[in-house]
Amino acid sequence: MLSSTFSRWASINNHGPKATTTTTALLQKISHSYALGRQLFSTAPILDNNSYDKLGIIGLGLMGHGIAQTAAMAAATSKNNNNNIHSSIIAYETDPTFLTRGRDRIQKSVDKLLTKGKLTSSQATSVMDKITFTNDRDALNDVDLIVEAIIENIDLKKDLYSDLGDRCKPSTIFASNTSSLSITQMALASHRPSQFVGIHFFNPVQLMKLVEVVKTEHTSDAVFDTTMEWVEQIGKVGVKCRDTPGFIVNRLLVPNLVQAMLLVERGGASVRDVDLSMKLGAGHPMGPLHLADYVGLDTCLFIMEGWVKDFPDERAFVVPDILREKVKKNELGRKTGKGFYNWDGDKRGDPIEL
């Protein structure tokens, strides 16, 4: 990045006496390069009031709708009742169908909490009123923090952040909810890497307390500290992590799932005995193969193949043949009714022994 910036300066200053570029044009180029340098290397972005008053959520799928609801509920049920965590939340989806589906998910969850007496009628109304649902990306231009929760595709995310970097106000902070992709790559694509963090929530967002807050080598200390405070404000527990593959939980968890598959693959133990051993011997709530089925074997394969490609020298990153075979046969676990176990909806059946 330093070399690319210096090359811009070199090209600007290498016009010579026969250059046809006018002085005005030259100054414009210098100004542009200076602005680019400030974006790339700034470490002290301006935070409006040192808080994230106006929140933007991109993507209202499984994770995104949960993040939007959690933030809105934190504002609506604030103990001091001053509703000051968020003045508004902009929930954005490109597809009107997905937007409606996300809104309906939140409404259904809020209605359930109201029925159970966990929300008052006024609080339930406030939760929904706090969120503006939109297909208009311009609505995100003046928010303080954007949390992105779209499909796990690095190219799509980089294109999105490049656009957001151009359109959003200079102080807007960007955060990706990715569970396995490089925060640094997205940060650089945004043209404001000092204002970029990872915020990895866990499913279901409304219930799971942990949030991994990920700092790159470019992230401003002020941005990182404010983001940690925001995580606590919405009722979660934040843990700090560098931009390492899988962050903390998945970096430890996914290789564990893979080792369980390899153990079964080489005939060392059965599916039943591997899972039973980890439940009764290690105190895990479910065994690794049960968990892999629940998460989705396609998801496990996607994560591990990406790590193998990006970090070929890491010995812990390996793709079992049995995982590839099951995904190829569409035996993805819970979502297709068959994986390492038979499934009936969300109910796990008997193990499938090899």
Q: Which residues are catalytic?
A: 179, 200, 212, 250
Q: In what order do the strands lie in the sheet with 196-201?
A: 131-134, 88-92, 54-58, 145-148, 173-176, 196-201, 210-215, 237-242
DSSP 245-263: TTTTHHHHHHHHHHHHHHH
Please list, in sequence order, all residues whose beta carbon lies within 8 angstroms of the beta carbon of residue 305, skipping any fewer than 6 positions away.
319
Kind and range of the H or E run holding 217: none
Amino acid letter for position 99: L
> Among all chains, which residue has been given the structure tokens 């151009």?
166
Any idea what DSSP says for residue 81? S
Half-sphere exposure of 100 (CA within 13 A, CB side): 3
Which tokens go with 87? Answer: 């003045």
Q: Is the separation of the CB atoms in 36 and 210 below 8 Å?
A: no
CB 258 within 8 A of CB 320: yes
d(C-alpha 293, C-alpha 290), whole Å: 5
